[in-house]
C-alpha cells in the first residue's frame, strides 16, 4: 500500500531548519517506509502515480512519532509512601540507605507474577502510546537476579509484541545492590556480568546500562559491566552524574556509549568527552522535578559542544512516576531552558540516536513511517501545554494505530 497523507503542517525534525515545518505538507508512505515528504505542490508526478490510498489530515501538525528513550516501565508495586517521607524531610539517598528505594521495588517485583508485571507495564505503555510514543525503551533493573531480570526483560519484549509500539530493551542489572549481596558489591558485579550472556542469547538485550553513583556502583565496577557488554558486542548507556559527579560519563564515553543520562552534575571534562564520542545527553526533567533537585544539567555547555540532547520520561516508581511525554517537553523548557524545538528534537531525532536507531526520529525518505498528527497549529504548542492531549492520529510503520 502506498499512501498519500496530505493537508498537514509537517515538521520533519530532519535538521534545525525544519521548524516549524512545511505548510500544506504531505508524506507518501510505501508499506512501513517513507517514500517522499515535502510540500504537496512539489509532489513529483512519478510518486503521485504510485499512490493507492489518500488520507486527509485536516490541517493537523505532523511530527515524527515520539521516542521515549529512557524508562523503567516493568516493576511491581509503587512508592507513594516514599514520596510522603521525602515531603517530610527524608532524602532519596537516606531512604535508599535505609533499605527502601529501589530495593523495595525489587521485593515487590520479585513477588509479582509475570502476568501482573505485564498487566501493570501494559497499562503504563498505553498511556505513553496515547500521547504519541511509537518507540519505547524499557530497562530491567528491578529483578537483580538472573531469573527475575529475565522475567522483566521478557515482559518488556511482550509489550512490544502485543501493543502498537516498538520496544528496545536495556539490561540494567547494575541498578542497585540486592539484599542477598549486602556488603559484597564486587561479587554482585561478577553476577551481573555472568547474567548477561544468557540474557543476550535469548534475544532480550539491545543495550547495557548501569547506575554509577555513590548509592549504587563505582566507576571501576561500572567498567567491568561495560567490558562484559563489549565482549558480546552490545552498546552501553549510563545513568551518570545524577546525584554527584562520579566521572561515569568519561568512562562511558571510553566505551562509545550511545547515551549518558541525567547529567545534573556533569563536569566540563564530561561534556568534552561526550562531544568526542558522539554520545547523546539524555535529560530527565521528571526526575529532577520529582526529587526537587536544584543543580541543573549544563545545557548551555552541551549545546556549545554540539552534544545532541534527548529528553525522556525516565518513568520509574521512585524518582519519576511520569506517564506524560508531552509534560516532559514542557518541563524540559521550563526547568532546563530548552527551546520547544530542542525539546521536540529531544524526543524524536536525538532520542532515536540515543537508542542507536538510525531509521526513525525524523521524517525523511527511507525512514520508518512513524508519525503523529496533532490538533495544534504550531509544533511549539506541544511543549507549551500542561495537560490535555492534542493527539489526533498516530501512524506507525505506515498504518494508523488503533487505540490499544
Residues that bind ligand DI6 (CB under 6 A): 101-102, 105, 175, 211, 239, 242, 287, 314, 316-319
Q: Is 241 in the site for Fe ion (CB under 5 A)?
A: no
Q: Which of 30, 82, 213, 314 binds Fe ion (CB under 5 A)?
A: 314
Q: For residues 131 and 314, which CB has a smaller minimum distance to ligand DI6 in the complex?
A: 314
What's the min distance (Å) between Cβ of 204 and ligand DI6? Answer: 19
Q: Which three cell numbers stand for residue 20?
A: 516549524
Q: How many of the chain's residues bind Fe ion (CB under 5 A)?
A: 1
Q: For residues 209 and 370, which CB has a smaller minimum distance to ligand DI6 in the complex?
A: 209
Using Cβ positions, the residue closest to ligand DI6 within the complex turns out to be 318
Give the separation between CA 249 and CA 263, rounded to whole angstroms.
8
Q: For residues 18 and 155, which CB has a smaller minimum distance to ligand DI6 in the complex?
A: 155
Q: For residues 320 and 394, which CB has a smaller minimum distance to ligand DI6 in the complex?
A: 320
Q: For residues 57 and 106, which CB has a smaller minimum distance to ligand DI6 in the complex?
A: 106
Residue 11 near which of Fe ion, ligand DI6, none (CB within 5-8 Å, type-dependent): none
Residue 270 near which of Fe ion, ligand DI6, none (CB within 5-8 Å, type-dependent): none
Residue 319 near which of Fe ion, ligand DI6, none (CB within 5-8 Å, type-dependent): ligand DI6
Residue 317 near which of ligand DI6, Fe ion, none (CB within 5-8 Å, type-dependent): ligand DI6
139-176 as b/e: b if 16+ CB within 10 A: bbbbbbbbebbbbbbbbbbbbbeebbbbbbbbbbbbbb
What's the min distance (Å) between Cβ of 320 and Fe ion? Answer: 7
What's the min distance (Å) between Cβ of 269 and ligand DI6? Answer: 22
Would you say 332 and 35 are in contact if contact means Cβ atoms under 8 Å apart? no
User: In the block, which residue shows the cell 487505540?
Assistant: 403
What's the min distance (Å) between Cβ of 322 and ligand DI6? Answer: 11
Q: For residues 106 and 401, which CB has a smaller minimum distance to ligand DI6 in the complex?
A: 106
Q: Is 82 in the site for Fe ion (CB under 5 A)?
A: no
Candidates 111-119, 141-149, 187-195, 311-319: pick the segment binding Fe ion (CB under 5 A). Answer: 311-319
Residue 354 near which of Fe ion, ligand DI6, none (CB within 5-8 Å, type-dependent): none
Q: Which residues bind Fe ion (CB under 5 A)?
A: 314
Amino acid at each position: 500500500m502506498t499512501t498519500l497523507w496530505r493537508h498537514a503542517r509537517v515538521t520533519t525534525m530532519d535538521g534545525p531548519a525544519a521548524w516549524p515545518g512545511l505548510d500544506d505538507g504531505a508524506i507518501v508512505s510505501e508499506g512501513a517506509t517513507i517514500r517522499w515528504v515535502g510540500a504537496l505542490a512539489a509532489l513529483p508526478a512519478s510518486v503521485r502515480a504510485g499512490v493507492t490510498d489518500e488520507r486527509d489530515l485536516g490541517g493537523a501538525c505532523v511530527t515524527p512519532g515520539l521516542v521515549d528513550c529512557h524508562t523503567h516501565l516493568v516493576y511491581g508495586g509503587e512508592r507513594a509512601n516514599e514520596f510522603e517521607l521525602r515531603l517530610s524531610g527524608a532524602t532519596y539517598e537516606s531512604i535508599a540507605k535505609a533499605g527502601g528505594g529501589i530495593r523495595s521495588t525489587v521485593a515487590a517485583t520479585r513477588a509479582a507474577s509475570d502476568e501482573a508485571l505485564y498487566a501493570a507495564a501494559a497499562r503504563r505503555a498505553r498511556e505513553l502510546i496515547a500521547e504519541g510514543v511509537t518507540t519505547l525503551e524499557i530497562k530491567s533493573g528491578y529483578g537483580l537476579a538472573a531469573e527475575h531480570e529475565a522475567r522483566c526483560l521478557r515482559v518488556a519484549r511482550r509489550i512490544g509484541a502485543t501493543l502498537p509500539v516498538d520496544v528496545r530493551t536495556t539490561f540494567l542489572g547494575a541498578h542497585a545492590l540486592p539484599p542477598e549481596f549486602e556488603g559484597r558489591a564486587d561479587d554482585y558485579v561478577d553476577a551481573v556480568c555472568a547474567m548477561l550472556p544468557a540474557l543476550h542469547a535469548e534475544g532480550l538485550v539491545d543495550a547495557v546500562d548501569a547506575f554509577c553513583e555513590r548509592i549504587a556502583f563505582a566507576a571501576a565496577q561500572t567498567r567491568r559491566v561495560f567490558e562484559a557488554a563489549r565482549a558480546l558486542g552490545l552498546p552501553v548507556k549510563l545513568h551518570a552524574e545524577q546525584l554527584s559527579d562520579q566521572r561515569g560519563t568519561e568512562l562511558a564515553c571510553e566505551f562509545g556509549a550511545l547515551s549518558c543520562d541525567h547529567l545534573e552534575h556533569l563536569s566540563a571534562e564530561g561534556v568534552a568527552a561526550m562531544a568526542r564520542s558522539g554520545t547523546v545527553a539524555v535529560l530527565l526533567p521528571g526526575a529532577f522535578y520529582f526529587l526537587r533537585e536544584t543543580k541543573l544539567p549544563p545545557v548551555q555547555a552541551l549545546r556549545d559542544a554540539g552534544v545532541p540532547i534527548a529528553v525522556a520520561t525516565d518513568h520509574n516508581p521512585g524518582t519519576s512516576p511520569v506517564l506524560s511525554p508531552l509534560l516532559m517537553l514542557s518541563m524540559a523548557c521550563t526547568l532546563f531552558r530548552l527551546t520547544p524545538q530542542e525539546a521536540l528534537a529531544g524526543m524524536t531525532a536525538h532520542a532515536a540516536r540515543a537508542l542507536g536507531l538510525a531509521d526513525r526520529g525524523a521524517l525523511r525518505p527511507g525512514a520508518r513511517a512513524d508519525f503523529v498528527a496533532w490538533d495544534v497549529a504550531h509544533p511549539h504548542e506541544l511543549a507549551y501545554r500542561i495537560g490535555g492531549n492534542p493527539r489526533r492520529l498516530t501512524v506507525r510503520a505506515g498504518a494508523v494505530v488503533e487505540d490499544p
